[in-house]
Amino acid sequence: MKRFDLRELGTGFVDRMTQIIEKDVQNDEVAIFIFEVRDFSSVQKSADAIKALGYELLNSLKYNEVDWTLSVRKRVVPQIAKETIAQSQSVSEASN
């Protein structure tokens, strides 16, 4: 289990979080991310990013008045991954 503090990034933490999951977290390992919540859209964006990667969101909790934590297991969830890939392809084709 690894813990990553992304509070200093403000609302721009999602890209860094996905980068960490992809490069610094081993398969089947759990990562805990803490980030600052200014509005709840960042919570949804982070959950969407994890789902888009096809990994397992274990927990999403308000830590204190301004901070939020996510627990993520780097394990591909097969059904979610297939649905996400299909959605990504259809969005990509629609934008072209």
**What's the pLDDT at 73?**
94
**What's the pLDDT at 48?**
93
Calculate what percentage of the chain has a pLDDT beyond 90: 54
Model confidence over 25-83: pLDDT tens digits?
A: 999 999 999 999 887 888 999 999 998 988 999 999 998 988 999 999 998 766 655 56
Model confidence over 2-24: pLDDT tens digits?
A: 999 999 998 889 999 999 999 99
Contact (CB, 8 A) for 12 and 49: no
Q: How buried is 46 (Cβ within 10 angstroms: 0-12 exposed, 13-18 middle, 19+ buried)? A: buried
Strand 2-5 to 30-36 pairing: parallel
The pair phi, psi for residue 66, each rounded to 5°, is -125, -10
Structure tokens at 19: 């980068």
Q: Which residues contact 8 (CB under 8 A, 6 or more apart)?
A: none
Contact (CB, 8 A) for 94 and 66: no
**What's the pLDDT at 61?**
92
**What's the pLDDT at 95?**
55
Q: Which strands, in side-by-side order, build the sheet including 67-73?
A: 2-5, 30-36, 67-73, 56-62
| Whole-structure pTM value | 0.75
